[in-house]
Amino acid sequence: MPDTTEGIYYLILINDFLSEIDSENNENNIQFYQIYINIPKSDLVIQNLEILYNTNFLPADEVHLSFDIKNIGFINSEITNLKYFLSEDNIYDDNDILIDSLEVPVINSNEFISSINQFFTITEVINSGVHYLIFILDKENSLNEENENNNIDFVEFYIIPTNPDIVIQNVNTNNDTINVNENILINYEIVNQGSTNVESFKTSIYLSEDENFEEDLDIILLDVETDILNAQDTAFYNDIEITIPNGTIEGDYYIILKTDNENVIIESDEENNLSFYEIFVNEPKADLNIENFILNNEEYFLGEEINFSFEIQNLGDLESGITNFVYCLSQDSLFDDEDLILNDFALQVIEENDYIFFENEIINIPESDTGNYYLLIVLDENENITEENENNNSAFYQIHISELFSDLIIENVNLDNEIFYNGDNFNLSCNVKNIGDIVSDTTYLKMYISQNNIFDENDDILLNNVFVDSLQKDSILFYEINSNIPEINAGNYYLFLVVDNDNFVEEENENNNLYLISISILESTKDLTLSNFFLENSNVSLGEYANVNYTIKNLGNGLVPNNLLAFYLSEDNEFSNSDIPMGSVTIENLYAYGEEEGEINLMMPSFINVGDWKIIAIVDANEQVEETNEENNSEYLDILIDEIDLKIINALVTPTDLSAGQTIYINCELNNDGNTNSGNTNLKYYFSENASLDENDLLIHQKDIDNLEAEEVLEMNIVNFDIPETTLNGDYFILLIIDHENEISESNENNNFLSLEFTVLDETSQIPNLIFNSYSLFPNEINIGGEININFEIANYGIGESYASDIQFYLSNNFIFENETDILLDELSINSLGVNEIFNSGINFTIPLNLDSGVWFIIAIIDIENQIIESNESDNMFFVSFHLSTTTLPDLEIQNFYFTPSNEEIYANEKIEIFCDIKNIGDTISENCLLIYYLSKDNILDFSEDIEVAADLVSKLNNDSISKENTEIAIPYLDEESDWYLILFVDANEEIRELNEKNNILLKKIHIFPPDAIENINSKFNFSVYPNPSNSYFSIELENMMLLEEKLFLKKLLKILIKKNSIFLIFKREYII
């Protein structure tokens, strides 16, 4: 740019300036741009001005100043000066005192002079307090600068008075609003701004109505002593507690703090000893208010309940006293003496800022005029409580009250027919509905039959009267009415249904309570007949009852009144006066086409002969009913009166040899060899010294026997009898006798007795002793529905051979056998055992599903009925416990087991890779466990013999999750060709309790060949290759290796040549030995 002055200029561009081109428009050959030309200037500023080390000084102290001067302009500055002045404020004026003037040399653009240090001494003439040092660059404006307004800066310092000067500062409280008679905490600081220490003094705290301290008017609250306050030191006072005195009127106040009120201390400034803090003093009051007044409706009826909720709140800062609140019904929203008080309740004390919630309050609308009303809630109606606000003690809700009625009607009437005969039974259904607005009282629904369609309860016949319960608005009651057509003349009639005929219910409409149905009644007929006539048992003994079943039908269309059904015993099927009467039944009213079923027990007379007889039944036996058919009123049944023959069969006692004091068991069956029932009798058991019954025999048991049917065989329960201890050795008898008192007449009375012989031996006789020698249970932890296994050993350690016997296994919730409650799981028979002979066996049980979790017991008992006489009868039982769980468990199962190569013929030392899935088919997550791979000579895992070839860790599995496992194993060296089994065992350490512990093993059969090695290819180094021939893998053995280990040797293998089924190994030359 040319040398010019600073300002705005224009840069003009002209095209074809010499007009050498002939152009249609020369106006567009010029363009211009506005630019601003700036003249570069210097610009000096003061930076980092500070007083070092201290800002509080005494007279004669030296002040150490430091600052930088920088040229922030675009050109170098010229030489100028820096002056600094002492000032009472931070604004320079002519009253300020020049302290010093410094020459400022040339400073290049964007360069500075740093850390300029200046010193000056505080003189005695300078007063104490805050002062300022003002620094001015180029005060005479000798430099033309970019900015002439940034040449000045200042610092503040404080000159400490020579006398003490106590100042109160930073006054504050923990709360700006405080209640009368409550405490307030004050914090403040006292600073000694002077240069000398202060002896003890006090600070007085006052409560004042304004910020001006007046000792005679302001209330002294507290004096606080200060011992010593050093010069330039500060005393901190925190949480000084004062109390607002009782009687303080609510309003704005000032907490005034005055130190050294008596002017004991001579200070440099006596006017700064006071400070104040404004507070508000509150006089606590309660303030009761009603909020959230809610009704469930706005429309009500006389007598109806109003359900509402509301809150009574204490909005004040003082608990309320005990007062009351009322519910009123008012014609306006203001409470006055004319309002009707519905309820008056005591209101207990409510803490400040607390409330009481009233939910589902219920009042009944009294009998009053209908129309618009206000439901009022009024608190503290007698103004027992002084409140912050006396105008918020009521709330209202506008409601409308109406008078309502119920209104009953009959609808949806259904009649099963319209044409009837006298006595016909019919069904009618209908609804009674309340179409009114309020609940109805209870009443009755009546049905009449009338000869015309005008209801007249005096002339019409009442058929039914049904109770009708109270009905809510729009509610319905359904009725089914069963009735009969009375005995009246044939013709056209009407059925009337009438609800509330007695006007028990006050209704809105009393004219809609009737319903009319037309019907026809025809001439009726009667015809009785007997059907379904049969005997429960056609063979009956003399003196026994025959059970006869019958059905009486009315085939006519009219009602049959009460009539007689009679029964006779006859030698033929024709009734005659010589027939024997056996009984009768009265058949009550039988309606058209109706029927009645029944049964009767008829006793066979004891004076008649046995043989074939007839039972004849006659309906309307007294001929009271006029019927259309009188020939179908009788029927007969064949009955056989036959003989009875009771006898005892298949009787035995066990054992037949026993000692005194031991138990004998008696079995037998009863047989009725006749062709009719026996009736009740009894069977008696006697202990006798001979085979005849006499008065010396001992009755040991008696069993009542219910009726034995013809040819019936009854198996009797086993009876056990303990042989008395005093019984001598010898032969004895058990005597059995049925119908001992001959109460039953039998065709053969001589076969009712039987004797059974047995022998009582000396105790030293050779008798067996069966005991459980050993027993075990697996597993001892099981889930419901799981399987449990018991192995046991029974030995005969007596001195005689035992009989065959049974073992019972019971499930019990304790270890004490209780035949009534314990569950029989299974039983097992064993053959006789010789002396010292042992019987080994095992048995599996499935645990039932309906058991509770906990500890259970398996109890095993041999010879439970003591049929074998033993030297010791107390050692025939054992019990084992297990824990039953109903909790969910995991269940690991091995699936998809295979290996590669898939050929099941494998060479020893060959490597195979095994794959399988481990799946949790249980109900919950499984923990980490081991999967172990074994080689076994058989299909049974035996840890002592089988070879562990690999192991994997199976991670936790969620239920129904799968873990895919694989591993590589090397078939170990084997000398002989043989079959082996690959066995996989998951949870091999058995740390996981599972639903099923029997599905953790899976196996596959393989055939292993030994390596067919060529020995001593090089006899010096015993070099061999196997298997030979090889399908895929082969191994090398090399002994006496001198240069390198086998691994290094094999790394130098260069090439394998396969030629005519031979393998050549080619190595680097230097490693061939």
Domains assigned to the chain: 44-159 (2.60.40.10), 166-282 (2.60.40.10), 288-402 (2.60.40.10), 408-522 (2.60.40.10), 528-641 (2.60.40.10), 646-761 (2.60.40.10), 770-885 (2.60.40.10), 892-1009 (2.60.40.10), 1024-1071 (no CATH)
pTM over 0.85: no
Q: Do 681 and 670 contact (CB within 8 A), yes or no? A: no
Measured between alpha carbons, how far is 424 from 556 in angstroms, rounded to an integer? 10
Tokens coding 568: 């006779």
pLDDT attached to residue 1045: 35
What distance separates the 2 farthest-apart alpha carbons in the chain? 175
Measured between alpha carbons, how far is 780 from 224 in angstroms, rounded to an integer? 83
Q: Which long-range contacts (CB under 8 A, 24 or more apart) does 623-628 make?
A: 624/561, 624/562, 624/563, 624/564, 625/526, 625/528, 625/560, 625/561, 625/563, 626/526, 627/526, 627/527, 627/528, 627/556, 628/525, 628/526, 628/527, 628/556
Q: Which long-range contacts (CB under 8 A, 24 or more apart) does 813-816 make?
A: 813/854, 813/856, 813/857, 814/857, 815/857, 815/859, 815/879, 815/881
Q: Do 742 and 773 contact (CB within 8 A), yes or no? A: no
CA distances from 390 to 314, 382, 393 (A): 12, 11, 7
Q: Is the dihedral of CA 603, 608, 609, 614 positive or negative?
A: negative
In 3-state terms, what secondary structure has residue 1049? helix
Q: Do 328 and 376 contact (CB within 8 A), yes or no? A: yes
Question: How many Cα neighbours within 13 Å face the side chain of 750?
Answer: 0
- The values of phi and psi at residue 892, to 5°, are -90, 135
Residues of the chain with pLDDT below 70 are 1, 124-125, 763-765, 799, 849, 886-887, 903-904, 975, 1011-1073
Measured between alpha carbons, how far is 118 from 743 in angstroms, rounded to an integer? 150
- The values of phi and psi at residue 988, to 5°, are -65, -25
pLDDT attached to residue 904: 66
Reported residue count of the chain is 1073
Residue at 552: amino acid letter? I
Q: Do 922 and 995 contact (CB within 8 A), yes or no? A: yes
Tokens coding 889: 């468990």
Gap between the terminal Cα atoms of the chain: 96
Concatenated DSSP letters for 774-819? EEEEE-SEEETT-EEEEEEEEEE-SSSPPPPEEEEEEEESSSS--T
| CB proximity list for 454: less than 8 A, separation 6 or greater | none
Side by side, the strands of the sheet bearing 323-330 are: 299-301, 394-402, 371-379, 323-330, 340-347
**Alpha helices (H) along 94-201:** none
Measured between alpha carbons, how far is 726 from 1031 in angstroms, rounded to an integer? 90
pLDDT attached to residue 961: 92
> What is the DSSP-derived secondary structure letter of residue 926?
B
Question: How many Cα neighbours within 13 Å face the side chain of 874?
Answer: 0
Tokens coding 818: 């209780």
In this structure, the number of other CB atoms found within 10 A of the CB of residue 694 comes to 10
> For residue 1047, what is the enclosing H or E element?
helix 1046-1051
What is the CA angle 52-53-55, rounded to 5?
80
Side by side, the strands of the sheet bearing 787-796 are: 770-778, 787-796, 838-846
